[in-house]
Each structure stands twice: as structure tokens, then as C-alpha cells.
Amino acid sequence: MNVSVNFCGIDFPNPTVIASGYLGVTGASLANCVRNGAGGVTGKTLFMDPRPGHPNPTILTFPGGLINAVGLCGEGIRKAKHEFEKYRELAPENPIIGSIGGKNLKELVEVAEIMNTYPVDMLELNFSCPNVDDEMGRPIACDPSMTAEATKAIRKVVTKPISVKLSPNVPNIGLIAKTAEAAGADAITAVNTMGPGMLIDPKLRRPILANKVGGVSGQALKPIAVRCVYDVYKAVQIPIIATGGITNGRDALEMILAGGSLLGIGSALLSHDMACFTMIVDKIRDYMKEEGFTDISELVGLAHEI
Ligand SMILES: Cc1cc2nc3c(=O)[nH]c(=O)nc-3n(C[C@H](O)[C@H](O)[C@H](O)COP(=O)(O)O)c2cc1C
């Protein structure tokens, strides 16, 4: 049973990849995930300069998942270089995706140029965080022409494969994916968190997050994410990193059948710890054996066949 995936020319030993944001960019903790079964990892989105993010509380759980308003905090791309080098040293066989952001197009292009020189296998363009609108305006991935402009500008300066990370908070994600593909994207990551959402404390009679609103992830996002992956697969020829609420083997299979080649896993890390990678890959193998498939690529997009 072959569960390895060649994605944009890069070999992943299995389809599971840590979604951006969960373990920052610390080389040792990202490498610990592959030691526990992840096929590859994605670093947290980096901007040019350090960012404090939003004030606490920034992450809450609720019965359907998580809501977060971390606000893209981080140390800035220059300081993070040694963490990518450390990861490479500790996990030479498992690909790493460098995620980038920018306050504006000029910064995005500059950060992309720097990330392109780091020891990462591909870049992910975070065009879709739903909890920094007050600072940066509407996410790029909510608008086809902004998606085209930003993807084209980054394509010009980046030699490595790029995946454009899309938002579920749009009426037609297929159209945005098509636009990114036409502008030079090699892959699509679908999706970022949805919302923003809000949770209120009835005793305090106030929103609980200091930022009031945050992006929703985990199981509540899964059916939306499956539909987004399905729509993106229908719209483009480039491969997809399917992300959003994957918690168990069944979720993973749904995402693959909808059209995902790689599986971004985030919130499950918090609810199921590091065991989730092996558990998911074992379940995919069991399914392949039971259903008579020998290579995982045979499953991708099968839900589209009538
Ligand atoms: C605490 C937290 C931080 C996140 N940080 C980032 C980030 O820096 N960049 C990004 O592209 N997505 C970020 N995300 C979104 C995730 O990468 C992922 O797209 C989303 O959570 C859906 O996947 P999940 O349901 O498996 O968590 C973050 C999500 C959470 C919960």
C-alpha cells in the first residue's frame, strides 16, 4: 500500500502535513511532529517584522472545535532563518513549507524573496487570515483581482513551488482558485479558518476573546472545508493541500475523495495530540486494503466520478 505523495515534485512519505500556525516555526518542535508520524510540516506565517499579535485570551475551545484570534504573531522572517536550518538538520527526509504574509503587496513580495532563499521545499501564501481585517483590510483571497495581482507578483520573484492558501469565507472559492492557478500558483491550500466567529460569556455579558472575534477551526469547519476542496478540485488542475477539521481517518478520506492530495492537520493536534498523524495514516492504509486500492493517488478526487 503506497501512501507516499509526490506533490509539486516534492516527495512526502505520507499525506499528513502540520497546518500553518500550530507550532510556530521552531525547528525542534516541527521535527518532533515528523518523528511522531507527520509526512511534512508547515511553519507559522512569517511577516517581515516581529508582530505581537492580539492580546489574550486568543484561543478558546468549544464543543465543535477552536476559535482563535492569535493575530499572526511572530518574530519576523529574518530571525526565523536558523529554525528552518535546524529543522532541515533534524528531519532531512520530510518536506517543510514556509508560510508568508505581508501588511501590503510590497512587504509580501519582499518576504517571499527572503523565504525563497531559506531551506524550505515550497512556499505557502497566507492570503486568508480572517482575524486581522482591522489592521490589513479584507483578506486577499476574498477578492479575485487581489489574488491574481499578489500571486503574479510573488511568482515573478520565487523559484520554488507556491501554494496559495484560500479562505472558506467567499461565495465562489472555485473562481478564486482558478484565478490563483492562472496567475502562476502551483498548488492551492484549502482552507484557512472560517468566520470570523464569536463566543460570549453569559456571566460577563461580553465576547470572551479580547479581539472579540476569531477564526473557527476544527470539526465545525470540516463539512465546509470538504465542500471547498471539492469545488477547488473541480475548478483547477493543480494539486490541493486539503485543510480544515481533519481529526480522524474518516475525515482524511473524505478530503482525499473530494480532491485533496496532501492533508493539512491543525486543531486535531490540540485535541488528539501527536498520535493523530499515525492514526490517520493507518486508517487510510486499512481503507485502501479493504477497498482494493494500492496507491493513494488512485483515491484523489474519486467523489467526483459518477
Ligand atoms: C491557533 C491557530 C493559529 C493559526 N495560525 C495560522 C497561520 O499563522 N497561518 C495560516 O495560514 N493559518 C493559520 N491557522 C489556520 C490553520 O493553518 C488551518 O488552516 C485552520 O486551522 C483549519 O485547519 P484545522 O481545522 O485542522 O485546524 C491557524 C489556526 C489556529 C487555530
C-beta of 164 in contact with ligand 1 (< 6 A): no
Q: How far is the CA of 192 from the centre of ligand 1 (A)?
A: 6
CATH number of residue 38's parent domain: 3.20.20.70
Q: How many domains does the chain have?
A: 1
Q: How far is CA 139 from CA 22, 54, 166, 188, in A?
A: 20, 17, 9, 16
Strand ranges in 136-249 using DSSP code E only, listed in sequence order: 162-166, 187-190, 194-197, 200-201, 206-207, 214-217, 240-243
**CB of 163 sitting under 6 A from ligand 1:** no
For residues 248 and 283, the answer to whether their CB atoms sit within 8 Å is yes
19: Cβ below 6 Å to ligand 1? Answer: yes
Range of the domain at 64: 5-304
Q: Which of 129, 142, 228, 276 is catalytic?
A: 129
Give residue 115's pLDDT. Answer: 98
19: CA distance to ligand 1 center in Å?
6
Residue among 16, 18, 20, 162 whose CB has most ligand 1 atoms within 8 A, to mutate: 20
- Confidence at residue 130, expressed as pLDDT on a 0 to 100 scale: 77
Query: For ligand 1, what atom is nearest to the CA of residue 128?
Result: 11
pLDDT for residue 2: 97
Quote the DSSP letter at residue 166: E
Residues of the chain with pLDDT under 70: 306
Long-range CB contacts (within 8 A, 24+) of 49-55: 49/76, 50/74, 50/75, 50/76, 50/79, 51/76, 54/131, 54/209, 54/210, 54/211, 55/210, 55/211
pLDDT score recorded for residue 3: 98
Q: Is the CB of 70 under 6 A from ligand 1?
A: yes
Is there a catalytic annotation at residue 33? no
Q: What is the pLDDT of residues 109-141, one digit of tens each?
A: 999 999 999 999 999 999 988 777 777 778 899
Q: What is the model's pLDDT at position 306?
A: 66
With a 6 Å cutoff on the Cβ, whether 267 touches ligand 1 is yes
Reported as type and span, the H/E element at residue 123 is strand 122-126
